[in-house]
């Protein structure tokens, strides 16, 4: 396991080595602020280690490092631009920096979570440039270049140390998950017939859904891990991930179908799914029996979900064989991958993101006001910590817990930094080796604390070197160090206060917004445009469903509405909608009305849009009632109308 003692010790050694290497190279290259390269190593390593509770994957570290490079570059360009434009007007400069941080905090919340770190860093990097170049604005370009170079140095040191201590690859975990996929998918479908416990099926479905999302994240991590893995491998994994979401949807749809229509259950299905399947050979025999049974039974006794599940399972096995053979992609595989390619969904946190942007702007504006009346050394630490906390709070499961973690961390590093300032650093002035030993011991212990998720340890590791005065040449200014430390504590406290004063939207509001967003995404497939219909949105839909479960897992009504909307999406996507005259305009009106329902701010406006959507669906059902379709589209639209009418309250509520 990655959280065993061996892996935890290896990560601590890896991070310590990288940080000390960054320190040594900074002195050798005679860089002015070695702390930037050292903090880069600590910041890149600390967050994923705290989240996983053990050694993070190498791909995660590298991907986070490259995001840090991009965010730093954008922030440095922004800092240089703002300093150049407003250097003669300090008030306007401070306001412009606050607006910049607030805007990128908003972007940080809206974009995909995988790349959001770059946007958050781009926002608060301007304050690092600002406080460093405040006294010498004419040196701002040089300061920005030095910062970017030192962060690049820190990233390279971390990559070298990772290679030196053997990188932890995600490939082995992916291989294990892939090997278990066929049996896991079969066992989930078998639960529809071998167990009447709906709650147990729901629990198993959620576990499989979490594993599917984890596989998607690991696939993206693998891309950053090494260029050794071929493009064919990544394309096949992408197709497998898309088929997995499709199989989960069909399994849930089959369970829902037989639960609502017990008369459709046949003893043949119970007999087929009896008995344990322990290996792939037994699964192959069972799938042959499955195929034979579908051909023997009348179509009325075989729901579409089962036949579609069997087809998707065969396509999954085709990709798995190609994955193990390492052969070039043939045409059948290319068609399967294209059909199941995942497409991200729109963000449902637009209003929530605006709140986060306002938080960051208000917090940094408070810091800028204090700057005018207090010591700049204290406020520099305040601004940096405040902008970081308010930006990162949005992506945290509990923003207040994140604020408390930073408060504890800033308090912890005060006595540690004073110990180094008053005793250790003066005693190591004549020996660089002693300095390396002292700093190495500190970093090693903090790395272990981070992996055991001790409160405040992550923030301590990331910002301890913002207080320990390691400069070239070495300077000792007690008042500067003390003011900076107190400023960081004050920044974390003020950030927590503002997070409490400007609270998140209520979880119910966010859950309802997610429901409306799922409806909009599900109706995107209601079109005669083949390119729009080819997009596989199941990954985005399930991403929003997992967010809904996290926010409001106990509210079964919203969960049932969301999963049924996903089933409606699958059913519409399975129907061939011919381009008859007038249908395209109907589809466009329905999609526009659903978008209007999702974006309206007042409940009265949403209710009006909901009634209009129901009216459009009724007219559309009358329009298509005489059209030839493989599966009656009228039945799907009628089910959608009934579903929306039953769950009208969460769709129009705030």
Torsion of CA 82, 84, 88, 89, to 10 degrees: -10
**What number is the average pLDDT over the span 425-452?**
87
**What number is the average pLDDT over the span 406-429?**
86
**What number is the average pLDDT over the span 499-511?**
71
Tens of pLDDT, residue by residue over 191-228, are: 887 777 778 888 888 888 888 888 888 887 887 776 66
Q: What is the pLDDT of residue 1?
A: 46
Is the distance from CB of 26 to CB of 153 less than 8 angstroms?
Answer: yes
The Cα–Cα gap between 496 and 500 comes to: 6
Residue 347 has pLDDT above 50, yes or no: yes
Q: What is the pLDDT of residue 334?
A: 86
> Which three-class secondary structure state does DSSP give residue 536?
strand
Residue 616 has pLDDT above 80, yes or no: yes
Q: What is the pLDDT of residue 551?
A: 66
Q: What is the pLDDT of residue 227?
A: 64
Is the distance from CB of 303 to CB of 257 less than 8 angstroms?
Answer: yes
Q: Is 70 exposed, middle or buried, given 0-12, 13-18 or 19+ CB atoms closer than 10 A?
A: middle
Tens of pLDDT, residue by residue over 89-106, are: 888 988 999 899 889 988
The Cα–Cα gap between 410 and 415 comes to: 10
The Cα–Cα gap between 157 and 21 comes to: 6
Residue 75 has pLDDT above 80, yes or no: yes
Q: What is the pLDDT of residue 61?
A: 87
Continuous segment of H or E residues that includes residue 610: helix 603-624
Lowest mean pLDDT among 57-66, 593-602, 630-639: 630-639
149 to each of 75, 137, 495, how far by Cα in Å?
14, 19, 30
Is the distance from CB of 366 to CB of 501 less than 8 angstroms?
Answer: no
Torsion of CA 272, 253, 346, 540, to 10 degrees: -10
492 to each of 135, 248, 363, 454, how far by Cα in Å?
25, 43, 10, 18
More confident residue, 13 or 234: 13
Residue 4 has pLDDT above 70, yes or no: yes
Is the distance from CB of 190 to CB of 219 less than 8 angstroms?
Answer: no
Query: CA angle 222-226-232, nearest 5°?
Result: 65
Q: What is the pLDDT of residue 443?
A: 93
Residue 476 has pLDDT above 70, yes or no: no
Q: What is the pLDDT of residue 397?
A: 67
Is the distance from CB of 544 to CB of 497 less than 8 angstroms?
Answer: no
Percent of the chain with pLDDT over 90: 11
Is the distance from CB of 38 to CB of 18 less than 8 angstroms?
Answer: no
Continuous segment of H or E residues that includes residue 447: helix 432-451
Q: What is the pLDDT of residue 629?
A: 58
The Cα–Cα gap between 641 and 620 comes to: 11
Q: What is the pLDDT of residue 69?
A: 92
Residue 2 has pLDDT above 60, yes or no: no
More confident residue, 178 or 531: 178
Q: What is the pLDDT of residue 226?
A: 66
Tens of pLDDT, residue by residue over 528-576, are: 777 777 777 777 788 788 777 766 655 667 778 888 888 888 888 877 7
Residues 6+ apart with CB under 8 A from 508: 552, 653
Query: CA angle 122-125-131, nearest 5°?
Result: 160
One DSSP character per residue, 295-349 reads: HHS-GGGS-HHHHHHHHHHHHHHHHHHHHHHTPPP-HHHHHHHHHT-B-PPPPS-
pLDDT band (50, 70, 90) for residue 337? confident
355 to each of 108, 438, 472, 517, how far by Cα in Å?
12, 43, 41, 19
pLDDT band (50, 70, 90) for residue 19? very high
pLDDT band (50, 70, 90) for residue 417? confident
Tens of pLDDT, residue by residue over 128-145, are: 888 888 888 888 899 899
Residue 9 has pLDDT above 70, yes or no: yes
Lowest mean pLDDT among 104-108, 182-186, 266-270, 454-458: 266-270
590 to each of 517, 582, 585, 601, how far by Cα in Å?
14, 13, 9, 19
Look over the chain and give the mean of its residue pLDDT values, rounded to a whole number.
82
Q: What is the pLDDT of residue 152?
A: 92
One DSSP character per residue, 169-219 reads: -SHHHHHHHHHHHHHHHHHHHHHHHH---HHHHHHHHHHHHHHHHHHHHHH
Residues 6+ apart with CB under 8 A from 260: none
Q: What is the pLDDT of residue 242?
A: 86
Lowest mean pLDDT among 82-96, 475-489, 540-554, 635-649: 540-554
Q: What is the pLDDT of residue 479?
A: 74
Continuous segment of H or E residues that includes residue 467: none
**What number is the average pLDDT over the span 81-96?**
88
Q: What is the pLDDT of residue 80?
A: 92
Residue 466 carries which DSSP code?
G
The Cα–Cα gap between 167 and 341 comes to: 30
More confident residue, 78 or 260: 78
Residue 518 carries which DSSP code?
H
The Cα–Cα gap between 574 and 53 comes to: 42
* Of 11, 4, 3, nearest in space to 165 by CA: 11
């Amino acid at each position: 396991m990655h959280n065993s003692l061996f892996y935890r010790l290896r990560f601590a050694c890896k991070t310590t080595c990288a940080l000390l290497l960054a320190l040594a190279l900074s002195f050798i290259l005679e860089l002015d602020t070695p702390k930037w390269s050292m903090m880069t190593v600590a910041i890149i390593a600390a967050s994923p280690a705290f989240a996983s509770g053990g050694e993070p994957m190498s791909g995660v570290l590298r991907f986070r490092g490259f995001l840090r490079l991009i965010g730093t570059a954008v922030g440095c360009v922004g800092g240089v631009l703002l300093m150049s434009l407003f250097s003669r007007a300090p008030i306007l400069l401070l306001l412009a920096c606050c607006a910049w941080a607030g805007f990128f905090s908003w972007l940080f919340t809206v974009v995909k979570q995988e790349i959001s770190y770059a946007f958050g860093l781009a926002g608060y990097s301007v304050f690092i440039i600002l406080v460093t170049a405040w006294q010498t604005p004419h040196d701002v370009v040089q300061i920005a270049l030095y910062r970017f170079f030192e962060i690049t140095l820190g990233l390279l040191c971390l990559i070298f140390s990772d290679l030196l201590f053997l990188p932890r690859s995600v490939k082995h975990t992916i291989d294990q998950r892939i090997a278990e996929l066929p049996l896991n998918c079969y066992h989930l479908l078998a639960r529809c017939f071998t167990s009447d416990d709906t709650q147990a099926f729901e629990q198993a479905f959620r576990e499989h859904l979490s594993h599917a999302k984890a596989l998607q994240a690991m696939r993206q991590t693998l891309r950053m891990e090494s260029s050794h893995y071929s493009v064919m491998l990544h394309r096949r994994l992408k197709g497998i991930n898309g088929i997995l979401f499709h199989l989960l949807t069909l399994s849930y749809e089959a369970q829902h179908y037989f639960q609502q229509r017990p008369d459709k259950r046949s003893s043949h299905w119970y007999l087929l799914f009896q008995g344990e399947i322990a290996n792939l050979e037994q699964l192959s025999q069972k799938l042959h029996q499955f195929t034979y049974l579908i051909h023997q039974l009348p179509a009325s006794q075989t729901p579409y979900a089962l036949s579609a599940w069997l087809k998707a399972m065969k396509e999954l096995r085709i990709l798995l064989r190609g994955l193990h053979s390492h052969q070039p992609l043939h045409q059948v595989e290319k068609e399967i991958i294209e059909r199941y390619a995942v497409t991200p969904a729109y963000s449902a946190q637009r209003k929530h993101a605006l709140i986060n942007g306002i938080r960051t702007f208000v917090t940094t504006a408070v810091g800028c006001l204090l700057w005018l009346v207090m010591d700049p050394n204290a406020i520099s630490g305040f601004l940096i910590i405040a902008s970081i906390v308010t930006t990162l709070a949005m992506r945290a499961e509990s923003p207040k817990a994140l604020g408390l973690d930073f408060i504890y961390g800033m308090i912890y590093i005060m006595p540690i930094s004073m110990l180094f300032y008053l005793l250790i650093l003066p005693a190591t002035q004549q020996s660089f080796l002693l300095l390396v030993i002292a700093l190495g011991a500190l970093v090693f212990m903090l790395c272990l604390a981070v992996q055991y998720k001790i409160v405040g340890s992550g923030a301590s590791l990331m910002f301890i070197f913002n207080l320990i005065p390691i400069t070239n040449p070495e300077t000792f200014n007690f008042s500067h160090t003390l003011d900076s430390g107190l400023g960081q504590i004050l920044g974390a406290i003020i950030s927590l206060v503002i997070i409490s004063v400007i609270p998140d939207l209520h979880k119910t509001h966010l859950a309802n917004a997610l429901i409306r967003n799922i409806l909009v995404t599900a109706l995107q497939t209601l079109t005669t445009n083949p390119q729009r219909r080819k997009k596989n949105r199941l990954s985005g839909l399930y991403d929003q469903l997992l967010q809904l479960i996290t926010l409001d897992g106990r509210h079964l009504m919203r969960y049932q509405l969301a999963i049924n909307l996903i089933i409606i999406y699958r059913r519409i996507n399975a129907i061939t909608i011919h381009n008859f005259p007038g249908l395209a305009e109907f589809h466009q009106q329905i999609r526009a009305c659903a978008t209007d329902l999702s974006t309206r701010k007042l409940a009265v406006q949403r209710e009006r849009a909901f009634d209009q959507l129901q009216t459009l669906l009724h007219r559309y059902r009358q329009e298509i009632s005489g059209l030839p379709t493989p599966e009656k589209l009228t039945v799907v639209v009628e089910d959608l109308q009934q579903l929306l009418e039953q769950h009208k309250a969460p769709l129009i509520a705030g």
